[in-house]
Amino acid sequence: MNMLSTWFTGSSQSASPFPSFSSDAEIPAIPLPDYTKMQVHCSGRALLAQEMPHDQKIIKAYVQAGMLQEVPAITKQGTLWRCLRCSNKNPGLFGVHACACGRERCVYCRECLEMGRVSACTPLYYWTGPKASGVFTDPLVWSGRLSSGQERASRAAAAAGLRKEELYIWAVCGAGKTEMMFQAVAEALARGERVLWTTPRTDVVRELYPRLAEVFPGVPAAAWYAASPEARPEARLVLATAHQARRFKGAFDVVIIDEVDAFPYVFDPGLQQAVREACSPHAAVIYLSATPGGKEQQRMKSGALSYVRVPRRFHGHPLPVPECRWAGNWRLQLSRGRLPPALLQWCRSRDTAYPLFVFVPSVAAVRPAVEVLRTEGFRCDGVHAEDEKREEKITAFREEQIDILVTTTILERGVTVPKADVAVLGADDDIFTESALVQIAGRAGRNPERPEGDVVFFHYGRTKAMQQTVRHIQTMNREEAAPDE
């Protein structure tokens, strides 16, 4: 049994509402229209009728032949409603509406509304026939070389994939976790298995997809995130946010959960359940992060969870150690449309040939920080989770059209900008936990041409999280690692 049933919560999640998944049954003797198209489109997914490639008459024929199973999208368990698509059981996330079915108060799920409304009268269809398959010989096209630490993790991940086990890759920011997974993914695809690479953050999916599509050029791949283009149903390699993993049921044989400790996944049992349901019953599960939580570290120490620790970046240089600088009452200064003189002086004195992330503790702090930095002559912009132009601005930052990008913690993980420096304004704010600060510091020094980077925490009093972050990074730098071959 894989660990997704108890991950982070410490208690069993509810069982999957889908009692049977795609079997190894043979194609039915009854002639069915466009069988291959239906098999590829539906295998491993829970779909609404309007998401199917055929009309209701043909759907009914597949149900009668036992190739599709029809289940109600929303059921009632005692006094509580449950959405079988997204596993939502929160009473506050259900609503009622006057429905085309004739009911004046038909219950619908608000949690997965962005995927199309499902109501108590809505059927879901999932494939119970033979799974769609695809075997790819030598699918990996990559000429890079792994460091010794990366190689250890790569071998362990490939072995976990083969044996259908779980594994935690605990690797520092910038260690090259993506490259460590190439061999495990390649071997799974060569076995004819389907792979899910999931993460809580949309920006991580956007960044990873072109990289993986490049090194697996002959493999049908798809990226699922909010407002993403229509994904390919035949995809054997799927990158998806945890929210979008709700679209799949029992589909994947190898599942990689990237940034497993990140918000909102770590605090949302519903998302954890969604990823569990996307797994086949005996899937291999590989977790990636630089900052595992305390409970997970205890499980590693006790031997309950296999892990590989990679304390060195792929280029072999140490992690930049953050410097803590007094900034005074930064909240008061922001409220007056100013920035702390210490931050402004540092921005003026640093080498502006290198890009700079400025992390702030709230959306409200983005605009005033951007305006002040612009008046100082910097090409500056700001992004946050609700910014519709976020992707466009990040691209401009990468292409050196912007000198400074002011951001919330939305970019603390998974986004790489070569040779960047990092500043944190208000590092003493509660939102900047040790985990967040370690990840933020990890945005600097990732390029071998400039492995040092600068990381500065501007504060109005040092916090325990700031001190733990410095100690965390210093410990990783001191930890012995085998030299690269």
Residues whose CB is less than 8 angstroms from the CB of residue 160 and which lie 6 or more positions away in sequence, other chains included? 166, 167, 184, 284, 286, 306
Is 140 inside any structural domain?
no
The per-residue pLDDT for 103 is: 87
**Helices marked H in 241-337:** 269-278, 294-302, 330-335
Cα–Cα distance for residue pair 415/394, rounded to 1 Å: 9
Same domain, 270 and 377: no
Does residue 484 contact residue 147 with C-beta atoms inside 8 Å? yes
* 3-class DSSP assignment, residue 61: helix
Q: How many residues does the chain have?
A: 485
Integer distance in angstroms from the first to the last C-alpha of the chain? 37
315 occurs within a structural domain: no
Q: Considering the domain boundaries, does residue 318 fall inside one?
A: no
Decide which of 57, 92, 127 is a domain's last residue: 127
Q: Specify if 317 maps to a domain.
A: no
Total tally of structural domains belonging to the chain: 3
Q: Is residue 138 part of a domain?
A: no
Q: Which of 480, 96, 436, 466 is nearest to 291 (CA)?
A: 436
Domain assignment present for residue 132? The answer is no
471 lies in some domain: yes
* Angstrom distance (rounded) from CA 398 to CA 379: 13
Domain identity same for 332 and 459: yes
Judge if 199 and 84 occupy the same domain: no
Do 358 and 231 fall within a single domain?
A: no
Domain span at residue 384 reads 323-478
Note the helical H segments in 236-389.
269-278, 294-302, 330-335, 341-349, 366-375
Strands of 340-445 (E only): list them: 356-359, 380-383, 404-407, 421-425
Do 243 and 334 have their domain in common?
no
Q: Is residue 385 located within the same domain as residue 406?
A: yes
Shared domain for 8 and 116, answered yes or no, is yes
Q: Exposed, middle or buried by CB within 10 Å (0-12, 13-18, 19+), for 47?
A: buried
In a domain, 218, yes or no: yes
How are beta strands 307-310 and 166-171 bridged, if at all?
Answer: parallel
Q: What is the pLDDT of residue 294?
A: 86
305 with 367, same domain: the answer is no
Answer with the one of 288, 310, 332 that is the final residue of a domain: 310
pLDDT reported for residue 42: 92
Same domain, yes or no: 333 and 446? yes
* Domain co-membership, 294 together with 370: no
Indicate the residue among 265, 289, 310 that finishes a domain: 310
Question: What's 451's domain CATH number?
Answer: 3.40.50.300
pLDDT tens-place values along the chain, 485 residues long: 344 444 433 334 444 555 444 444 455 556 788 898 999 999 998 899 988 888 889 999 999 998 999 999 999 888 899 999 988 899 999 999 998 888 889 999 999 988 889 999 999 998 988 888 889 999 999 999 999 999 999 999 999 999 999 999 999 999 999 999 999 999 999 999 999 999 988 888 998 999 999 999 999 999 998 878 777 888 999 999 999 998 899 999 999 999 888 877 888 888 888 899 999 989 999 999 999 988 899 999 999 999 999 999 988 899 999 999 999 999 999 999 999 999 999 999 999 899 999 999 999 999 999 999 999 999 999 999 889 899 899 999 999 999 999 999 999 987 889 899 999 999 999 999 999 999 999 999 999 999 989 999 999 999 999 999 999 999 999 885 444 44
41 and 103 share one domain = yes
Closest CA to 174 of 359, 321, 311: 311
Q: Same domain for 113 and 158?
A: no
What does the block give as tokens for 268? 């949302």
